[in-house]
Copies of this chain bind each other. A is one copy, B any other.
Amino acid sequence: MHAFVTGAAGFIASNLVDRLLARGDSVTGYDNFATGNARFLEAAREKPGFRLVEGDLLDAERLAAAIAGADIVFHMAANADVRHGLEHPRRDLEQNTLATFNLLEAMRQAGVETLCFASTGAIYGEAATIPTPEDAPFPVQTSLYGASKLACEGLITAYSEGYGLRSLIFRFVGVLGERYSHGHVFDFVGSLLADPTRLHILGDGTQRKSYLHVGDCVAAMLTALERTQGRLGIYNLGTDEYCRVNDSVAWITARLGCTPRLSYSGGSQGWIGDNPFVWLDTRRMRALGWEPQLGIREAVERTVDWLVDNRWIFKERGHHRHG
């Protein structure tokens, strides 16, 4: 199988690339390196089955040339910064919605028939049903990020109906693990490595969140790809548990061996659009025979360990974030 992976130099995507190469697939990675990291592809670039194309999904010509010959597309590229969406409302539209449209058109023109899409539990907004199943009541969007991913899902399912595309859509909870480089564990560990005596927490610390280890996430995608019958599969991906922000703070500080003074911004949300309770119903995915190997605490601890061993990432990310 020849897989085309968008955003290949990203956190989850680069883990997927390594897994695909390890099982013998050939992979074309496509990345504009806006937030991707070339170091995440160092192992992949040693493999003969890997090819990297530096390009932007908004560059239709470059994309068309790169995608030719692929059997399947894993669309992992995204602006994943849900928290700061309101500061630059055009970014989610361009990097998520328009990029996905361009990709769908490139696939249609190249005759690539299968798409795996990295969506998000954020599209449920503040769900009324928890744990939230895939057919939860019609959601109201609470973030530009969620709105843009919903728009992507709409386009993908309409392409499935209209053009016969085979589509697998995965709604992720927060993903943690090796190469994790964005989000609250990243922020907390970065802050504590710089100053272990104090930690500032957005919200009141009682927000309930769900996480999944990247290895389990990648395994779920490949399992669903193999076992889904029919043209369309939509799957929540997560563990069967959640934790409070204060829980993850306790696990992180224990792992780092520090006892910071905690301060809180207060309120039930960390920021506008922050969902105070994320917990997805994953029975549909489990019915395919998949189950996560790691719980949330283990995922958090592995992430802390990786960040401690890879402190260079804090400088890289800081550079990119303000670039």
A residues adjacent to B (C-beta < 8 A): 85-86, 89-90, 93, 97-98, 101, 104-105, 108, 125, 128, 134-144, 146-148, 150-151, 153-155, 157-159, 161-163, 232, 234, 272-273
With A138-B139, A140-B232, A157-B147 in contact, is A162–B101 under 8 Å at CB? no
What residues of B have a CB within 8 angstroms of the CB of A232 in the complex?
A: 140
How far apart are the CA atoms of A287 and B104 in the complex, in Å? 42
A102 to chain B, nearest CB (A): 10
B138 touches A161 (CB 8 A): no
A162 touches B86 (CB 8 A): yes
With A138-B138, A154-B146 in contact, is A162–B272 under 8 Å at CB? yes
Per DSSP, chain A at the interface is: helix
Kindly report how many copies of this chain are found in the complex they form together. Answer: 2
How far apart are the CA atoms of A146 and B143 in the complex, in Å? 20
How far apart are the CA atoms of A163 and B162 in the complex, in Å? 35
Interchain residue pairs A-B with the least CB separation, the first 9: A147-B154, A151-B151, A147-B158, A135-B137, A150-B154, A141-B154, A141-B158, A141-B157, A142-B161
How far apart are the CA atoms of A147 and B162 in the complex, in Å? 12
With A101-B93, A154-B151, A158-B146 in contact, is A138–B140 under 8 Å at CB? no
What residues of B have a CB within 8 angstroms of the CB of A86 in the complex?
A: 162-163
B138 touches A158 (CB 8 A): no
What residues of B have a CB within 8 angstroms of the CB of A142 in the complex?
A: 157-158, 161-162
